[in-house]
Structure 1
Amino acid sequence: MNRWLDISMPLHAEIPTWPGDTPYSFKLSWHKEQSGSVNVGQFTMSTHTGTHIDAPYHFDEHGDKVLALEVNQYAGRALVIDASHTDLVRSYLLENIEKYDVTCVLFKTLSWSDRSHFPERITAIDATIVPLLAANGIALLGVDVPSVDPLDSKTLPAHHALHKHQIAIVEGLVLDDIVPGVYEFMALPLPLQGADGSPVRAVLRAI
């Protein structure tokens, strides 16, 4: 059986966050020497650190929060598409997508080359491709950058278009060494009540 490939960003003290957002931290609140039996840790982080999902509530006051999301939407057959040669993901990259019989598309942009620093520019998603994705049964879109929209966008057209067509969003994937093609994919959010997003452990397995 093919092994699962981890395509998640490791969480550590130096992981870059959105400017001004909560930094990641982890510490042991109980040491084994103190408790007599176990180590117990605690962590603090933004819900949009590293590899994560966006719930619609993140950008829509009336959108669903994490606990209301359909968990099956975050697993399925996925097509990894090479988008490393463009500065905007456009519809031509989706030519013949219907022949792959997938419910997820993951765009390998390679535009976040140094993950020790938050990027200044990224390859974003052209919101006009979203109806085409929906027409082909796509339920999830993933990217290897912190956002599906330009980092300085206030209107977030791709976020809103994906929400309108009920397509889930996963951001911050690590696709550097992944060969474009079809895989089994999983990136399950934590059951966080009231949350606008969630970290995920995203994995792929060759089919």
Structure 2
Amino acid sequence: MNPPTLHDISPLVSAAAPIFPGDEPYALRWTARLGPGCPVNLSAVTMSPHVGAHADAPLHYADDAPAIDAVDLHAYLGPCRVIHAIGCGPLITIDHLRHAAAGLPPRVLVRTCERADTVWNPTFSAYAPETLAWLADQGVRLVGIDTPSVDPGDSKTLDAHQILRQRDLRVLENLVLDAVPAGDYELIALPLKLAGACASPVRAVLRTL
């Protein structure tokens, strides 16, 4: 029997990684280097927790909500469906997903583009709020997307994020689904236990069933 295939769906986190304007970019500096009297290399990293593939905490969109260290991990691990809605336009609607809605598992990732952006693109695709509510009605507990946000880049009301809050959905953003065929997988995308943080980077992977 062939071993399961792993799809790494995490983009490279680097100083060139696209970020929302004004967010904190990735930066690495060395605090120690191998040499006489020093047996190791040590680095220090600064970045927004929203750089690269990441999990938003409810705290990101509600002051009285849990930070990422308090979020239950079960949603980030288990059966998952990748649905293609390539070229869907500004918003993923229910009609873009109906063709793959039979027997949905608790986790749904939507691919909206042929190739994930490597530079900031303000016109990325997002979720229509009613689509997230519909997915919750189907028993979905986690949603994901291959763009920076479930809301449009110019949104000030974050209507899709508010549906996440109201329906207690978890979310993954900035995934790379370029090479992932539509279908069912096991998702592994655990956030770090960052005290008080509004989000966490994840190393998101899909394993074939």
TM-score by length of 1: 0.94
- The alignment partner of 1:32 has SS state of coil
Which residue is equivalent to 2:38?
Answer: 36
Does the CA-based 8 Å contact 1:112-1:119 persist in structure 2? Answer: no
Residues 109-162 of structure 1 show CA distances to partners (whole Å, capped at 9, x for unaligned) of: 0176431x1112011101012232112211100000000000000100110101
Which residue is equivalent to 1:143?
Answer: 145
Which residue is equivalent to 1:16?
Answer: 18
Which residue is equivalent to 1:90?
Answer: 93
In structure 2, C-alpha distance between the alignment counterparts of 1:186 and 1:124, rounded to whole Å: 22
- The alignment partner of 1:170 has SS state of strand
Which residue is equivalent to 1:76?
Answer: 78
- Tell me by how many angstroms 1:95 deviates: 2.2
Residues 37-63 of structure 1 show CA distances to partners (whole Å, capped at 9, x for unaligned) of: 211111000011111111111111111
Alignment: residue pair count: 206
- The alignment partner of 2:35 has SS state of helix
Cα distance change, pair 183–31 in 1 and its aligned pair in 2 (3 A)? same
In structure 2, C-alpha distance between the alignment counterparts of 1:135 and 1:34, rounded to whole Å: 62
- Tell me by how many angstroms 1:35 deviates: 5.0
Which residue is equivalent to 1:182?
Answer: 184
Q: Does 1:106 align with 2:109?
A: yes
Output the amino acid matched with 1:63: A
Does the CA-based 8 Å contact 2:115-2:178 persist in structure 1? Answer: no
Which residue is equivalent to 2:121?
Answer: 119
Over the matched positions of the two proteins, sequence identity in percent amounts to: 37
Show structure 2 runs of 5+ residues with no match: none
Moved more, 193-202 or 23-32: 23-32
- Tell me by how many angstroms 1:4 deviates: 1.7
Residues 10-29 of structure 1 show CA distances to partners (whole Å, capped at 9, x for unaligned) of: 11121121111111111221
Which residue is equivalent to 2:175?
Answer: 173
Output the amino acid matched with 2:42: V
In structure 2, C-alpha distance between the alignment counterparts of 1:84 and 1:97, rounded to whole Å: 14
Show structure 1 runs of 5+ residues with no match: none
In structure 2, C-alpha distance between the alignment counterparts of 1:80 and 1:35, rounded to whole Å: 51
In structure 1, C-alpha distance between the alignment counterparts of 2:53 and 2:189, rounded to whole Å: 9
- The alignment partner of 1:99 has SS state of coil
**RMSD between aligned alpha carbons?**
1.6
